[in-house]
């Protein structure tokens, strides 16, 4: 099942989505410009904004809160360290949301070979979410068939990959439901560069070995 369920955008917009998964969605919105996805998120934001206006009975602020905020208006917020583009491979840079996360972690990907010319890098783990990884799969190479216990979101950034259900080109967000098994193969000539998060996944030596097994 590859189609993105619109409820996913609801969970993203509500801010209740696992942060690793949410960062993949944010990356998708930042790189693809997919009007459908933007419209879905936009609808959710409008819905929530309207609820804020109409369903929230005001709760009185503590005394002095306005004065306290007014006193801080002239202090500029700390600039974010993560503005600089971070290379993913060749001339491809990481999507801005992931770069912002990386920027506060030294800003360099640590690639590990997973055999056959393919490599992976574990991305910094968000405070409230699952691990994410960047994958660079060599042309025509397979990842071992794998099954996930949690939802997997993958954003294809360059090249393409195929599995039993179809082919996914750069700019595509794919979704694999918990319990599903798939057998991805990178594009014959371009290979595949992607970022991925699996809910609940914690990287272990086992997973690294699994990835390197062919």
CA atoms within 13 A on the CB side of 169: 2
Q: How far apart are CA 108 and CA 86, in angstroms?
A: 7
Site residues for another protein, window 84-103 (CB under 8 A)? 96-97, 100-101, 103
Closer of 64 and 205 to another protein (Cβ): 64
Residue 139 touches another protein, criterion: CB under 8 A: no
Closer of 40 and 118 to another protein (Cβ): 40
Residue 202 touches another protein, criterion: CB under 8 A: no
Number of residues that bind another protein (CB under 8 A): 70
Q: CA 198, 140, 92 angle in degrees (round to 5)?
A: 65
Residue 124 touches another protein, criterion: CB under 8 A: yes
What stretches of the chain adopt beta strand conformation (E)?
A: 87-89, 92-93, 111-115, 118-122, 132-137, 146-147, 152-163, 166-169, 173-176, 181-182, 185-186, 192-198
Query: Closest distance between another protein and the C-beta of residue 171, in Å?
Result: 15
Q: CA 92, 96, 98 angle in degrees (round to 5)?
A: 90
| String of contacts with another protein for each residue 11-50, x by CB under 8 A | x-xxxxx-x--xx--x--xx--x-xx-xxxxxxxxxxxxx
130 neighbors 197 (Cβ within 8 angstroms): yes
Strand partners of residue 198 = 152
Site residues for another protein, window 60-79 (CB under 8 A)? 60-62, 65-66, 68-70, 72-73, 76-78
Instruction: Provide the binding-site residues for another protein, judged by CB under 8 A.
Output: 5-7, 9-11, 13-17, 19, 22-23, 26, 29-30, 33, 35-36, 38-62, 65-66, 68-70, 72-73, 76-78, 80-82, 96-97, 100-101, 103-105, 124-128
């Amino acid at each position: 099942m590859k189609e993105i369920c619109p409820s996913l955008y609801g969970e993203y917009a509500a801010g209740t989505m696992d942060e690793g998964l949410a960062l993949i969605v944010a990356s998708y919105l930042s790189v693809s410009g997919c009007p459908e996805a933007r419209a879905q998120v936009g609808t959710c934001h409008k819905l929530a904004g309207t609820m804020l206006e109409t369903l929230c009975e005001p709760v009185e602020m503590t005394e002095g809160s306005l004065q306290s905020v007014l006193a801080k208006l002239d202090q500029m917020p700390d600039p974010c360290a993560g503005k600089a583009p971070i290379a993913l491979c060749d001339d491809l840079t990481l999507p801005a949301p992931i770069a912002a996360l990386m920027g506060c972690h030294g800003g360099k990907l640590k690639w590990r070979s997973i055999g056959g010319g393919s490599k992976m890098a574990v991305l910094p783990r968000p405070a409230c979410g699952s691990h994410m990884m960047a994958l660079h799969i060599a042309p025509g190479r397979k990842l071992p068939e794998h099954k996930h216990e949690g939802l997997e979101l993958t954003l294809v950034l360059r090249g393409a990959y195929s599995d039993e259900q179809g082919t996914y080109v750069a700019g595509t967000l794919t979704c694999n439901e918990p319990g599903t098994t798939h057998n991805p193969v990178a594009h014959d000539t371009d290979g595949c560069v992607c970022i991925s998060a699996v809910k609940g996944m914690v990287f272990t030596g086992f997973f690294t070995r699994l990835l390197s097994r062919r």
